[in-house]
Amino acid sequence: MISGFGGSLLSSLFNRAGISVGASGALFGLLGAMLSELLTNWTIYANKFVALLTLIFIIAANLGVGILPHVDNFAHLGGFTSGFLLGFIFLIRPQYGYFNQRNNPRGYAAPSAKSKHKP
């Protein structure tokens, strides 16, 4: 929702000639959050470059649709930028292991498991 608001904000700042409505800013916010999650958890992925190239292709294809008439690309860019930045703040980082400790009973010390990922 916040990335949709960011897309609408950027659209209203730069596209004063018309009114733009739709959920495309929020959808681009999800793409931006996916990109920030990919960059944050880079060591977890098995096919790193395939995932990155696939995501970049999807983003480029959707931004390419923005050159059509009556499509507000400012909403797309605002939603993508806000989703990308918010993804670094809100998405979890499983390599730190703090999400497993959250549900443990009080006073329970979990045994340290050997990480299967390279440092």
Q: What are the catalytic residues? A: 24, 76
Q: For the chain, what is the radius of gyration of the CA atoms?
A: 19
Which residues neighbour 59 within 8 Å (Cβ) at sequence distance 6 or greater?
28, 31, 35, 80
N-to-C CA span, the chain: 35
Cα(48)–Cα(95) distance, rounded to whole angstroms?
16
Task: Give the C-alpha separation, 89 to 45, whole Å.
Answer: 20
